[in-house]
Structure 1
């Protein structure tokens, strides 16, 4: 697979999650909190910040290409759950989340390529993280 194409794909998938995470951590959780409260979650504000942190860390992991297989699977599942929980009544938004999940699962299957942190093949202690 073309390593430059994998880099571009990682950037297209990772940068939006970095931005969404930063926005939630810098006050955007106020928009997410009422929706989480409506789902019956007891401490919605804390969960909103955790969502922002997970999106930020996941986006960074995809963008730098390590640990892209683990983060790809987790963010793919994240997209499916978020799409169902928040957007199941809007088919366009739901399908957008499904499409993003497909991109993350594909990235997890093919790996980061050689233009990534550790060249896509970490050694030492970092090699134990899939």
Structure 2
């Protein structure tokens, strides 16, 4: 039961990032570029594609459960930074990003569970990443 609950949590946390990343990489970056340019960030189009790539890879890592601790912490920090940078004037959006960050940090502590790539605990050279 515990493994199924962790799988559900990973799916609920990771699938939206897979969708958002895929949308940005398939032309959705056009909506993000003006926002990034308005923030004064350099080369907004390349940065929008980088955001899409990071969201896609991070979401896949969460869903697969490998390396869960690394991706959970990174996406948690990502949610805090993007919440503050992009939504600091919208309290509801900022709080939703803070809630997502809390979920990612809790997932990092709980671990991937038994229903994950490599059983949630990779072996070999990549085991040192966590």
Provide TM-score, normalisation by structure 2. Answer: 0.97
How many residues align? The count is 130
Gaps of 5+ in 1: none
Could you list the runs of 4 or more consecutive aligned residues of structure 1 that deviate by over 6 angstroms after TM superposition?
none
Distance 1:82 1:42 in 2: 16
Paired residues for 1:94-109 under 5 Å: 94-109=94-109
Structure 2, unaligned runs of 5 or more: none
Moved more, 119-128 or 7-16: 119-128
State the superposition RMSD in angstroms. Answer: 0.9
Determine the C-alpha separation between the residues in 1 that align with 2:121 and 2:82: 31
The residue number in structure 2 matching 1:31 is: 31
Query: Which residue matches 2:90?
Result: 90
Q: State the 1:116 CA deviation.
A: 0.3
CA separation in 1, counterparts of 2:97 and 2:113?
24
TM-score by length of 1: 0.97
Shift of 1:22: 0.1
Could you tell me how far apart the structure 2 residues matched to 1:4 and 1:63 are?
12
Q: Distance in 2 between matches of 1:22 and 1:106?
A: 25
